[in-house]
Amino acid sequence: MGLILLTLVAAALVARLLGGRLAALEHLPLRGWPLLAGTLAALWLGTGAALAGLPAAFHWLGLASAAACTLAYCASNRAVHGTGLVGAGLLLNALVVMLNGGMPVSAYAAARAGVNYVEVVSDPRHVPAGDSTHLTPFADVIPVPLPLRPEVSSAGDLLVAAGLAQLLATAMLARYPAQERPRPLHIRPRHARTG
**Long-range CB pairs of 173-178, under 8 A, 24+ apart, other chains included:** 173/15, 173/18, 173/19, 173/20, 173/24, 174/24, 174/27, 176/24, 176/27
pLDDT (0 to 100) of residue 181? 45
Could you read off the pLDDT of 36-66 as tens digits, one per residue?
889 889 988 888 888 888 887 888 888 889 8
Query: What pLDDT, on the 0 to 100 scale, is given for residue 179?
Result: 46
139 has pLDDT over 90: yes
pLDDT at 182 over 50: no
Q: Residue 67: which of 89, 99, 100, 34 has the closest Cα?
A: 89
What pLDDT does 180 receive? 44
Sketch the domain layout of the chain as residue ranges.
2-10+32-172
- CA-CA distances (angstroms) from residue 164 to 5, 77, 114? 10, 13, 26
- What number is the average pLDDT over the span 11-22? 94
- Whole-number Å distance between alpha carbons of 142 and 162: 15
Between CA 155 and CA 139 the distance in angstroms is 7
Tens of pLDDT, residues 68-112: 898 898 889 988 999 989 889 988 998 898 899 889 999 999 999
